[in-house]
DNA sequence: ATAGCGTGATACCTTACAGGTATTAATAGG
DNA sequence: CCTATTAATACCTGTAAGGTATCACGCTAT
């Protein structure tokens, strides 16, 4: 076989049509260049050049091989640059899992700022609940997730991205809908409630039950999706406790009102990732994620 | 920079995910392989592999670089084969010039048999008069021509491809049109004649004037194209002397009849090429051309 | 714990071959 | 016929490739 150096040498000779000038261009002397070309021709079993007293001509095969060599040489020059960019995380793919809820709050700004500041990083989005995010992180199917606590600190690293209050979603025609002051949990006693699914939305379920008493016969529906819950409220099926960001849904016929017992930072959304991830795109994106979290804490 | 051998080595390690097995596959021992990969990584400034106690994993950059290397290696393996095929003339381009007249006779069979027997040889066709063919041969713009004599034997080689008789093209409504016996040149005295252009179709002009007397006032038109001449005959502009192959035009309203004075091998068509051509496709095609000439001589 | 095994890295040697200098061979032009 | 141009050859030297022997590290199993 032949070497890349031989390919480069042949390109030089074929372009200069002169061994001496080609040798200059390659920063070497003429005799070893002649030998390399001879060796190349022997390796191929093909005459590439016609040596004439006044220089050199290309054979037909030489012309074709010249094209191949040019491609080969440029490709060989591109490859390392590409690899370096990927290693630096400036180019690459970030597979991101997110909860349906986060789509109303931090997901948009996060994806937008990645696109703007790291245009080489492609983001692959996949909506999934927290539990599946953790599983997919472990198996390497995603690189980062936007999820609800709790996380096993041995398995993943995380940073707080966003906090918000839990609020009450009330149908527009409900007596409480026009209330100015925060609603107290005691006022919800006896009201039909749309609750979070205990498996798929364990985090919210626990938040709500930690905040107030919920009687089983009070639960009219269970759901794992904020969108569904608000839609059911609009349909008059009951009240629901949802994060403040649900307001962004702009669902007609539903008022989303403060709940006295909820601290403003009750509901948390974190970014989660594997500390031992080998995807350089993750390391590049992480500072940006942390900055977004700090901005949210301040603003 | 890196070498093709390093690329091959990296592909082997990346596929085996094991230095020992990769070394086996490359028919070498493990330590130099390790060194080559280290050197490759140093040259790129990128970590491609994560060495772990139980083998090796690829980094993100490594995965990308693996793709590049595979392309590079396969391309490097293809290139010589391509060059060898071209050198053998089994693949390539043959630029062929032909006179308009030859298009009615030998051109079709020639191109067809090249396509069939040498499917790798592409034929580029260019219609041009003999004089331009000789010029384009000299300058290398065509590889072979189908032309009329004479040729300068110092400049080109040639072989006789085809001979035919000169015939008389007569309008269907002309008194001679129904004649069974060959027409004699004396019968053409006084008839309006469509003659060959003395510059563009010198060969035919000389053949005709060598065969019979042509008075200047007898010439109604001059043309360099057989097709034009026959069309003018059909239009009743006069008679014309054309090679037998003009019959293949199948022009309605024109009868093409034997001329008593013309030997059957009066009009010659030769293949012409440069003896010092460097196009291997020419050497491959030439035997086929010669065979076609012999067949035509017999049949 | 620790002995043993599997795996990649290192140390050191030998040799092949790349590239350098000096020279020759071939050819065209004056 | 001599000279200038250009590629090829002869010969030398140093770099770096590949080989063997060995080390270092981290699991696994007893």
Same domain, yes or no: A29 and A98? no
Same domain, yes or no: B9 and B143? no
Same domain, yes or no: A109 and A70? no
User: Which nucleotide has its C1' atom closest to residue B35's CA?
Assistant: C9
Q: How many Å apart are A93 CA and C3 C1'? A: 45
Same domain, yes or no: A157 and A289? yes
Euclidean distance between CA atoms B149 and B133, whole angstroms: 12
Residues of B in contact with A5 (CB under 8 A): 3
Positions on chain D within 7 A of a protein C-beta: 5-10, 17-22, 25-28
User: Would you call B65 and A57 a contact, using CB atoms and an 8 Å cutoff?
Assistant: no
Which of B35, B70, B87 is a domain's end point?
B87
Same domain, yes or no: B150 and B284? yes
Q: What integer best gives the mean pLDDT of chain A?
A: 90
Place B180 in a pLDDT band, splitting at 50, 70 and 90.
Answer: confident
Q: What is the pLDDT of residues B249-297, one digit of tens each?
A: 888 899 999 999 999 999 999 999 988 787 889 989 999 999 998 887 7
Same domain, yes or no: A171 and A254? yes
**Which pLDDT score is estimated for B109?**
92
User: Which nucleotide has its C1' atom closest to residue A31's CA?
Assistant: D8
Q: What is the pLDDT of residues A124-157, one digit of tens each?
A: 999 998 989 998 998 888 999 999 998 988 788 9
β-partners of residue B80 are: none
Nearest chain A residue (CA) to B92: A60
Whether residue B299 is predicted with pLDDT greater than 80 in this model: the reply is no
- Which residues on chain B place their C-beta less than 8 Å from a C-beta of chain A? 1-5, 43-48, 50, 57, 59-62, 64-65, 68-69, 71-72, 75-80, 82-84, 86-87, 92, 278-281
Same domain, yes or no: A157 and A276? yes
Euclidean distance between CA atoms A201 and A205, whole angstroms: 6
Nearest chain A residue (CA) to B90: A61
Distances (CA, A) of B244 to A109, B105, B125, B183, B250: 83, 9, 23, 14, 12
CB-nearest to B280 from A60, A77, A82 is A60
Q: Which residue has the tokens 């194209």?
A: B225
Nearest chain B residue (CA) to A85: B61
Same domain, yes or no: B11 and B134? no
Residues of A in contact with B27 (CB under 8 A): none
Which of B38, B63, B87 is a domain's end point?
B87
Q: What is the pLDDT of residues B55-95, one digit of tens each?
A: 788 888 888 899 889 999 999 988 898 889 988 888 888 99
pLDDT (mean) for B3-26? 91
CATH assignment at residue A29: 1.10.10.10
Percent of chain A at pLDDT exceeding 90: 54
CATH assignment at residue A190: 3.40.190.10
Nearest chain B residue (CA) to A94: B60
Q: What is the pLDDT of residues A219-248, one digit of tens each?
A: 999 998 888 999 999 999 999 999 999 998
**Which pLDDT score is estimated for B190?**
84
Q: What are B232's two structure tokens?
A: 């003018």
**Which pLDDT score is estimated for B101?**
84
User: Which nucleotide has its C1' atom closest to residue B18's CA?
Assistant: C7
Q: Is the dihedral of CA A19, A23, A26, A29 positive or negative?
A: positive
User: Would you call A75 and B72 a contact, using CB atoms and an 8 Å cutoff?
Assistant: yes
Same domain, yes or no: A23 and A52? yes
Q: How many Å apart are A5 CA and D25 C1'? A: 38
| Strand locations in B99-247 (E) | 121-127, 144-147, 157-164, 166-171, 193-196, 219-223, 239-243
DSSP output for B42-75: HHHTS--EEEETTEEEE-HHHHHHHHHHHHHHHH
Whether residue A196 is predicted with pLDDT greater than 70 in this model: the reply is yes
Same domain, yes or no: B57 and B171? no
Same domain, yes or no: A70 and A100? no
Q: What is the pLDDT of residues B215-232, one digit of tens each?
A: 989 999 999 888 899 999
**Which pLDDT score is estimated for A195?**
95
> Is the pTM value of this prediction over 0.85?
no
Domain count, chain A: 3
Same domain, yes or no: A238 and A211? yes
Q: In B149-245, which ranges are continuous DSSP H helix?
A: 202-211, 226-234
Task: Indicate which of A61, A90, A279 best probes the interface with B, i.e. most B CBs within 10 Å of its own CB.
Answer: A61
Task: Indicate which of A63, A80, A92, A140 best probes the interface with B, i.e. most B CBs within 10 Å of its own CB.
Answer: A80
CB-nearest to A86 from B61, B76, B82 is B61
The parent domain of residue B197 ranges over: 166-258
Q: What is the pLDDT of residues A10-37, one digit of tens each?
A: 999 999 899 989 999 899 989 999 989 9
β-partners of residue A239 are: A193
Q: What is the pLDDT of residues B64-75, one digit of tens each?
A: 899 889 999 999
């Amino acid at each position: 076989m032949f070497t890349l150096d031989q390919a480069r040498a042949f390109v030089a000779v074929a372009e200069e049509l002169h061994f001496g000038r080609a040798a200059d261009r390659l920063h070497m002397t003429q005799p070893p260049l002649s030998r390399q070309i001879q060796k190349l021709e022997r390796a191929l079993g093909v005459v590439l050049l016609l040596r004439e007293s006044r220089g050199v001509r290309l054979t037909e095969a030489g012309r074709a091989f010249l094209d191949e060599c040019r491609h080969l040489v440029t490709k060989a020059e591109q490859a390392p640059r590409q690899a370096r960019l990927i290693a630096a995380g400036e180019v690459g793919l970030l597979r991101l899992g997110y909860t349906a809820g986060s789509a109303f709050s931090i997901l948009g700004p996060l994806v937008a700022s990645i696109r703007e500041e790291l245009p080489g990083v492609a983001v692959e989005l996949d909506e999934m609940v927290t539990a599946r995010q953790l599983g997919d992180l472990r198996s390497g199917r995603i690189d980062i997730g936007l999820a609800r606590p709790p996380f096993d600190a041995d398995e993943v690293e995380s940073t707080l991205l966003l906090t918000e209050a839990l609020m009450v979603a009330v149908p527009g025609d409900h007596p409480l809908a026009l209330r100015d002051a925060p609603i107290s949990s005691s006022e919800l006693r006896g009201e039909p409630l749309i609750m979070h699914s205990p498996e798929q939305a364990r985090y919210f379920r626990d938040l709500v039950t930690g905040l107030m008493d919920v009687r089983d016969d009070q639960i009219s529906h269970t759901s794992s999706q904020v969108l569904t819950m608000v839609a059911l409220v609009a349909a008059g099926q009951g009240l629901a406790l949802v994060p403040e960001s649900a307001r962004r849904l702009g669902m007609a016929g539903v008022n989303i009102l403060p709940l006295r017992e909820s601290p403003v930072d009750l509901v948390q959304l974190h970014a989660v990732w594997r500390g031992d991830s080998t995807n350089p795109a993750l390391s590049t994106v992480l500072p940006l994620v942390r900055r977004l979290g700090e901005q949210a804490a301040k603003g």
